[in-house]
Structure 1
Amino acid sequence: MATPAEEAKAKGNECFKKKQFHEAIEHYTAAIELDPSVPAYYTNRAFAYIKTEGFGAALEDADSALRRNPKFVKAYYRRATANMGLGKWKASKRDFEAVLKVRPNDKDAQKKFKEVDKIVRRLAFEKAITVGEAGVKRDVVQIMTEAMEKMEVKDSYDGPRLDGDITPEFMEELMQHLKDQKKLHIKYAVKILLEVHKLLSSLPSLVDITIEEDGKMTVCGDVHGQFYDVLNIFELNGLPSPSNPYLFNGDFVDRGSFSVEVMLTFFGFRILYPNHFFLSRGNHESINMNQMYGFFGEVKAKYTDDLADLFTEVFNWLPLGHLIDNKIFCVHGGLFSEDGVKVDQLRTIKRNCQPPDHGLMCEMLWSDPQPMPGRAPSLRGVGTRFGPDITAAFLDDNDLKLVIRSHEMKEEGYEIAHDGKCITIFSAPNYCDSMGNKGAFIKLDKRHEPEIVQFEAVPHPDVKPMAFAGGLSSLLGF
């Protein structure tokens, strides 16, 4: 007869199979509380945390399992994956080395060790070539500007041409061309990136938005390379225009395999409507995430390595948040580990860099709300968790009404928390073609009363998520 702890584990396993990862975590937690001596309970929960990007919590569980059994191989696997999720490639490599010490003939471990070792070597090489002999970083913007001038568009190219300014007609042609699985010519892709780089680099780190009288604003959350769902948003809610402004709240790329199409569309609209189409940086607009979850691989497969580097330069200039009518704070991740943060501080953050692992910029991209008061360490291993009292205090300190953030998949596409003062919005339905969740977006007018619109996923061409992540897709459990 199974023990109560084993019964709890079995329930967790059933939830995991159904991709109900949060419920699985609850059952594995119950098993641990009933019998904290079993390492498998911790590694099972670690895997569920990994599926929800709770890499910090997964690391803790893997360590707990190893304290109970230093030769428990699955714990090294889990810790290796969690370290990858945090961009700690060398630590991940050491974990696979530890697996091979225990099981030297494990072919799966050998394969994964070689894959991670390849990444470590590649990153070292890329770091070396990014900086020249004089120790000066390559000026990718200048390199691509000069390269663009030499690019020839042959008569056989049948896509939209961008010989002048971006127009609404060009954008409609572009979206149809991309929908038909055709590539925009690299000359025009480079031109769009260079123009948006110039625009974004002129902005503060917190951008003000004003909803016009009798106007509206649509706020969307993560889209993660799901281009065909983005087109569906525009079908449902209308194309961007001065009378139909949009804010997309970060995590435009990775996981989904049409991230290039998403970015060319978003950057095109950002240039066309600089006062009515807005983009916030998410934690996935960063090198570590792009190397791991497919965006770099996609850009390199569809275009070139240099274009991938140019995307990085542009991502570095994306604003970190937006303030709507001085009343609604929109940010990808969330709030802060310290009290008393003022919105004026956020305007002047130096953002032209990769996100650090602590501080205001990090927390804007990585933090999450929690139902209990106060703060707690992030399950992700980066950022912080903040409670309803923290949200209320931040809003009071800054004379605001509402926080809108994204960053987390929600079954219904949204979640209203913290007494209605913190809304999570997520706009990637059936996330990774497997989660079965709805997508949602928020419509706002001058009353600042959010209207939430839900929608389902639409079909897309037969290209799987993480298709350009190479061997990383299996390492990360895809």
Structure 2
Amino acid sequence: MGVNSVSTDTSSDLNEQIEQLMQCKPLSEQQVRMLCEKAKEILMGESNVQPVKSPVTICGDIHGQFHDLAELFRIGGKCPDTNYLFMGDYVDRGYYSVETVTLLVALKVRYPQRITILRGNHESRQITQVYGFYDECLRKYGNANVWKIFTDLFDYFPLTALVESEIFCLHGGLSPSIENLDNIRNFDRVQEVPHEGPMCDLLWSDPDDRCGWGISPRGAGYTFGQDISEQFNHTNNLKLIARAHQLVMDGFNWAHEQKVVTIFSAPNYCYRCGNMASVLEVDDCRGHTFIQFEPAPRRGEPDDIKCVELRALSAGVTAWQYGIARKASTPITLLSCEDSTLRKGIVVFLVTRGSRFDPILAQYCCQHRKELVAQVVKSMCPCKSLEV
């Protein structure tokens, strides 16, 4: 039996698991282990540039916002009735990363030809230890086994997809080390996301209004201008680059004279940004339609930022770790914290590493650079000479 075939008994088990997950109820550790073993077999047979046929619905970041993922399926159609292509960042920040990524993997195993799941920069061991998925696995399973199972599986996720040889889909953006799609096909992708190099760039880079290549404020990947995207599309006979990775308030945003589009599928991102979400439907005739949607009703999630802060602190999170994670708060709220040790850790993080991981942090750090550096100096931190 091939990797794309599912036995009757397995189908029945998977159907039950998918039904359970759709109720936002996590699977057992053993079920997750077996599911990911099956998924690994399927993903090993997929390319770094995975071909996808239309019709297909292309989706951006989800970030553990499970109820919004359920809303996406309600609006866009259930899998397998609708073909889906997800462009990464299934975990971190939201409260239900475990249920979100497990559901998508279960759908991949059940309907391998109907759903494609790409790797985002958050499908990484290092990033998930910082932004919440690791802590969520500890909280829900009592150990890190499920986190390890999933992060091992992430290494096998395809890096990019190609819809009808025309629409190039990936999480982040282009790389100065990549001229054509064959360069990507030749990668050994089964590894942790590197800190630099072409594989890193595909997951971290962003389009920019300025021409050429630029230094990314994230600290990883590059910014690339319209001249770069036009040349890449021309070289590879592409009509469009579809990517995720950036919060856009309308759920989608055109760039580079409609040569590049950003799609973001997590409405009211981090439960506070107030943005719409969207998906891109590509029909049989390769026509494009954006469907926007608002947040689904939230159930049982902490609404009060202070509640989340106290929960994080009571769990023994250090000032440095919490400063990085930020949990469900904002930089300005954190900087007003009365705990001087915690505040110092936050300030040090913002100055030294804040712009690397998050576009919201990057913008904040640029706007408040002098204030942040001054607070580091005032606190007599060891990195007081650094600037953002």
TM-score (norm 1): 0.61
1:206 is aligned, of 41, 46, 49, to 49
What are the equivalent positions in structure 2 for 1:128-167 lying under 5 Å apart? 164-167=9-12
| CA displacement at 1:474 relative to structure 2 | 5.0
Q: Deviations over 1:135-179 (max 9, x none)?
A: xxxxxxxxxxxxxxxxxxxxxxxxxxx993135x844x4455345
What are the equivalent positions in structure 2 for 1:68-467 lying under 5 Å apart? 164-167=9-12, 170-171=14-15, 173-178=16-21, 180-211=23-54, 216-241=55-80, 243-303=81-141, 304-338=143-177, 341-464=179-302
CA distance in 2, matches of 1:260, 1:163: 26
Matched-pair contact (CA < 8 Å) for 1:257–1:464? no
- Report the residue type matching 2:148 in the other structure: D
Matched-pair contact (CA < 8 Å) for 1:196–1:270? yes
CA distance in 2, matches of 1:330, 1:437: 22
**Secondary structure at the counterpart of residue 453 of structure 1:** strand
Matched-pair contact (CA < 8 Å) for 2:175–2:222? yes
- Report the residue type matching 1:336 in the other structure: S
CA distance in 2, matches of 1:430, 1:299: 23
Matched-pair contact (CA < 8 Å) for 2:14–2:106? no
- Report the residue type matching 2:32 in the other structure: A
| CA displacement at 1:387 relative to structure 2 | 0.6
CA distance in 1, matches of 2:296, 2:74: 11
Q: Do the aligned partners of residues 426 and 187 (structure 1) sit closer, same or farther apart at CA in structure 2, a change above 3 Å counting?
A: same
Matched-pair contact (CA < 8 Å) for 1:166–1:268? no
Matched-pair contact (CA < 8 Å) for 1:179–1:228? no
- Report the residue type matching 1:371 in the other structure: D
The count of aligned residue pairs is 309
Q: Deviations over 1:267-298 (max 9, x none)?
A: 11101111110001000000111000110111
Q: Do the aligned partners of residues 308 and 334 (structure 1) sit closer, same or farther apart at CA in structure 2, a change above 3 Å counting?
A: same
Matched-pair contact (CA < 8 Å) for 2:59–2:265? yes
**Secondary structure at the counterpart of residue 265 of structure 2:** coil
Q: Do the aligned partners of residues 191 and 401 (structure 1) sit closer, same or farther apart at CA in structure 2, a change above 3 Å counting?
A: same
CA distance in 2, matches of 1:352, 1:200: 11
Instruction: Give the structure with the higher percent helix.
Output: 1
- Report the residue type matching 2:163 in the other structure: I
Matched-pair contact (CA < 8 Å) for 2:24–2:66? no
TM-score (norm 2): 0.75
Q: Deviations over 1:36-65 (max 9, x none)?
A: xxxxxxxxxxxxxxxxxxxxxxxxxxxxxx
| CA displacement at 1:343 relative to structure 2 | 0.5
CA distance in 2, matches of 1:440, 1:396: 27
| CA displacement at 1:200 relative to structure 2 | 1.1
| CA displacement at 1:475 relative to structure 2 | 4.7
| CA displacement at 1:351 relative to structure 2 | 1.0
CA distance in 2, matches of 1:458, 1:272: 25
Matched-pair contact (CA < 8 Å) for 1:255–1:432? yes
Q: Do the aligned partners of residues 409 and 369 (structure 1) sit closer, same or farther apart at CA in structure 2, a change above 3 Å counting?
A: same
